[in-house]
Each structure stands twice: as C-alpha cells, then as structure tokens.
Structure 1
C-alpha cells in the first residue's frame, strides 16, 4: 500500500508545464536532409513519363525518387497499424506509377534546404494518362472502373475483400429470424444516416526523422501511435528485414487515431535508407488535411422493430463504408457501427451486414 492512493509526479511533468522541447521536431538535428513529396493533381491516373533532370540540378538537392525507383511488381503492403496478419489488404507501394487520389505520391525530393526542395518540386515535369474516377462511394461496388486493378493486390485475412469489385471488406452476420420478427413487430423504424469523413486535426502534424545508426540499422523518430506496427510497416514498404528497423516515439502532440497509420514515416525512411544520410519530413497543415488518415465516410441503414411498449425485438443494420483509395483499417472500423452497438440491446434477432468500398478519394484510417 506504499503506492496505492499516493501521488506520484509523472517523469515528464516538469518538461510539459515549463514548455521544454519534448516533441519530435524539437529532437531533430539541423543538418539533416529535408524531405517533401510531389502529389498528384488527378484522382485516377497513370504516370506516363516523369522528367526530374532539371529539378535534380537545383543546388542543394540530394536525391529525387519516382516510381522507377520502386519495383512495381514487388509485394505490396498496408500502412494500417494493426496486429499481424493485418485485416487490411496489402494494396500499397511506396511509390506507385498508378496514382489513385488527388494528393497521392508521385515523387520524393530530398535536399539540404526547404527553398531548394520547393524549387525542385516545381521543376518536375509529369505527363499523366487520365483515367475515369470513382468519386461516389454509393456507386463504387461492382463499378466498371477499378481502383485497384493490379494482380499484386492481396488480402491476407478472410475479410470478404475483392479488388475486382472495388471491395475492401464484406460480411453479414445474423442470429434469429430477423425478417420474420420485424414483420410481427408493432412498430418498425427504418432510417438511413450518413456520416461524413472527418479529419482529426491534431495539434502536432505528422513528423518523422530518420538516421542510420552504428550498426547500419534504420533508426526512426516519429510522432506515431504505433511504434511496433510502424517498424513492421516500414520494413514491408522498403522490402528490408525488420531487424534493420528501430522506431522510437517521443511525446506526441495529439493523434486521436490519425497516427495509428503510417502516414509520413516511409518517405524519409526511404531517403535515409538510400542515401545513408539523416532526413526528416514534416507535413504541412494542408497535407495533414488532404493526404493523411481521416475517419471513414459511412452510410448506415437501420431497421428496428419493437412492441408498442417500446421493447426492441429485432435490429437489421447495414453499413456502407468508404475506405478511399487504400484499405487502411477498412475491415475493422466498420465494425464500430454494428459489432459495438447491437450487443447493447437484448433482442430476439439481429443482422449486421457491411460493404467497405474503394473510391478515388483520400484513404481513410
């Protein structure tokens, strides 16, 4: 009982109340490379050609990487911070010739100054083959336009995913005779609710610093909620052994789930692994909004049957969820609409079905 009911000062209490540097960028040295990315202006396109020759000649530019630096037939990965094997499909390449939403990555630029990097970004010339886009998640399922037509797409868990149907996940579970009981109910309520995608907008943006240690390992300091998952994700994205990656997190300035996916880590990690030089990436507030990991947009239809006295007898719930261009957490977050709500009621029967669909919009998380 020396500890129970006693007050103990947190180890970082004085740092926090006195405003001492404790966040990621406060711990980053000044002489590292600055990493930024060129983003697609198109919702669905193939990069036909990309010319980086002039941009590479800008003074203080260290390196520029494009899809040509990544094996396009290599194994894909997911950026979702989930226990292995991840329910989310493996549908990502670190740099993909096929860009799938406005804001998708086209090129990585690393340089010694922000001015040089910004100038180089403006000098990269890209020619796109524009494709039709799926922008309404209500029309995504079995749409002739496929967000992920590639054969290297893979689902490691049986979540009902099918990239040839724009389907990230599908399931129907039920118990009891739902339709029969609903027909017998005195009152049946049938309502559809639409929840928009919502960005968490935490105080600290996505920040990552990378370096190579004495043993040749990739060391990553990042504002992340998923240290150990981040290690696996980065190793998969770079196609290197997990033993060569170490991830550390300082105190983070908010996450709220947005930092439960790898958002900024892969790009400076790739630069540092290639150049063996320290690098960092800081998302602008604009990038945090247009290319991170917002809440999934959902449309939920609920049919609820009850007696005149108000006793709920049956619930029939169907959720359509928009995972965007990539499937991060798509198969799991949808369960919050049914798996976590239906058990709150003692019913005679229930049904919960869902479809999580791909669209050419920012990936959710």
Structure 2
C-alpha cells in the first residue's frame, strides 16, 4: 500500500493540539475562576524539625477583624490518612492527620486561617501563639538507622507503618535464586554506591485549591491536581462525609510532574469551607512549594555485581535506602520501583536480589516524582 505523503508526520512541523490556545492565554487554570465572597486561606507552619505542640492560643488571632475561622489539632477530628493519591487499597501508611499534636519537619502545618483577604489572614497567623516542646531531630539516613534514634511516628493511631520504632516507613526484599552464594562463587565482583539528592518539581503553577458549595449543597473542589478521583476519596475520609457529596473539578494545570499526585491542600481548604460555610481559596507561595509540598526521594543505592571472567553477569544485588522525610507518602511504591523496574533488564543473571528500606527523617516529605522510583 503506497504511503499517503499528505498524512506523513516524520520530517514535518506538527502543531501541538493546544499550543495556539495556550499561546493566546485561553485555557482557564484553577485560580482563574472568580468566586464571589471567597475567603482566603493561609497555613501556619512549624519552625521546628521535631516538636510536640503543648498549646495553641488563637484568642488574639480570632479578634482580628475579618477572620472567619482558625483550625488546629484541638478543634478538628483526628483521622489518620495518607496524602498519596495512588491506587486502592493504598500502599502508603496512614501517618498523616489534618493537624497533629506533633510536628515532624520545618514547615509542617500547625494551624489554618480563613479570612476576608490575604493581608488579614497573614496578620492572624502572626497572632497565633504556639507552645512547643522541642524534641531531638533525625536529619539524615544514618541518624534514622542509628540505634536509639528518636522515634518520629510514635502515635498509636497511625496505620500501616512497617516498623515505627525503627523509623522504617516501608521495606521490601525480593530474592530470585541465591545471590549470596552466586556472589561468593563469582571470579569478578564489582560494587558501587550512588547518592541521589533532593530535587523539587518546580511546576510553574503552585499548588492551589478553591472550595465552594453548589446549588445542591455539594462541596466542589477546583484543584490543580493530577488525581481528582483520589482527591475526592481522601477528602471524604478526612471530613467523614460520603464521596458522593464531593465533586472535584480538575481544570488545566500548570505542571505537576508527580507533585500534584498528592492531596495536600485539599483537605485543609475543604475543612475551612465546611466550618465557615463559605467559599475558600488557598494557594502556596513559591517558598511553600519548596518547603511543604513534595520532593524526590533522596536515596543511597548500592549495587553488587558478580560475573564470570568472560563478563557474563551471574549475580546482581541492589540495596536501596530511601529518605521518605517526615511522612511515608509513596514510600513503598517508589522504593519498589527502584528494583522492579531495573533488575529485570538484566535477564541473563540467574541470581537477583533487591532489598531496601524507606526511612523516616525530620526532613521535607518526599513523594511521587517524574521517573517514579
């Protein structure tokens, strides 16, 4: 059959289907919706890497004219959940609370304010008085692994943590054959360790959400998200309402790259809207994106190879230590992908093993990131 040259794409300039509309500024992003009488939300963040909250005094903040609502751990239900917007049943531990009695990294959320405008919300944040009991912090993988390290998640109502007393959020061990025996019998052995650092998604559009109620009283969340159905499910759990009472609108988003596979802002904004019965919008500043959204999982990966003298791989062992930060979102699945997406490529080796741990630290929270695992 002769090639239809008019339909050929190779070697031709092809317009992006939405390119002209984007260049003309036609798509509507999350905050392009003008919601009348919407309150502005702001979040008070922890200055400490690890601390107990002994008291939260909002008396002076509530007296600021224009403040509609202040939420903190003392006036919201305590429900464990994960912010990881991924499959069901969720493989990530339920180690997150809307607001907790403990903060686990610099930037962890302590309270949220809804006010008539941004300036008023900022004034109210500065008037909230928090009494902390500062705790020893875990600031590296080595510290997390050390005997007697401070326990980051000691709350009894968290669910699905692999070993909280050892700061292990998740662990995996996948053996094929007998790697130890094969390595011992290999005439050539090579070993190397690589360190993968923090990196941030840095999408042009920051994390942002608008919450309002439709004519039927249903909560509508207009969110810059990659996972609208997971948003609905997780917010329903946090608010203890049926998912059918929530509608999530996902407009055009200005980049996500995995960072917006997290349900971080939506529960807070939804709770503020429920408490005030008014629309609420909240957007991260660029600083908040870096501090309080998500990052790539920093890792230490060690590879041991055993080969014959003619270069044929006989054994391949990979060990990964992942720094999940203060919460275990995507901890197991990212860690698992490190080995499961790479070792099968070396299918001539009969002896394989991938094992690793995702460790809690008092550092920024890692999550989904392009090149997942």
> What TM-score, normalized to structure 2?
0.91
- What is the CA-CA distance between 1:176 and the residue it aligns to? 1.2
SS of residue paired to 2:340? coil
Quick check: 2:211–2:269 contact (8 Å CA) kept in 1?
yes
Query: Which residue is 1:127 aligned to?
Result: 131
User: 1:138 maps to which residue?
Assistant: 142
How much does 1:30 deviate?
5.2
State the partner residue of 1:150.
155
Distance 1:64 1:97 in 2: 16
Equivalent residue number for residue 321 of structure 2: 320
Task: Quote how far apart the aligned CAs of 1:198 are.
Answer: 1.1
Q: CA deviation at 1:139?
A: 2.6
Q: How does 1:28-47 map to 2 (within 5 A)?
A: 28-29=34-35, 31-47=37-53
The 2-side partners of 1:301 and 1:197 are apart by: 18
What SS class does the counterpart of residue 309 from structure 1 fall into?
coil
1:295 counterpart = 2:296? yes
1:361 to 359, 363, 369: 363
Query: Where in structure 1 do 4 or more consecutive aligned residues deviate above 3 Å?
Result: 5-14, 141-144
Classify the secondary structure of the residue corresponding to 1:315. strand
Structure 2 contact 222–251 (Cα < 8 Å) conserved: yes
Which residue matches 1:100?
A: 104
Are the aligned partners of 2:27 and 2:252 in contact in 1 as well (CA < 8 Å)?
no
TM-score by length of 1: 0.93
Structure 1 stretch 133-142 or stretch 167-176: which is displaced more?
Answer: 133-142
- Other structure's SS at 1:173 match: strand
Residue matched to 2:253:
252
Question: Which secondary structure does the structure 2 equivalent of 1:300 belong to?
Answer: strand
CA distance in 2, matches of 1:264, 1:321: 25
Moved more, 286-295 or 28-37: 28-37
Equivalent residue runs for 1:1-365 within 5 Å: 14-29=20-35, 31-71=37-77, 74-141=78-145, 143-155=148-160, 161-346=162-347, 347-365=349-367
Go from structure 1 to structure 2 and tell me whether the alpha carbon gap of 1:183 and 1:110 turns closer, same or farther (over 3 Å shift): same
Secondary structure of the corresponding residue to residue 142 of structure 2: helix
8 Å CA contact 2:172, 2:336 repeated in 1 = no
Work out whether residues 78 and 91 of structure 1, in 8 Å CA contact, stay in contact via their aligned partners in 2.
yes
Unpaired segments ≥5 residues, structure 1: none
* Counterpart Cα distance in 1 of 2:36 and 2:218: 21
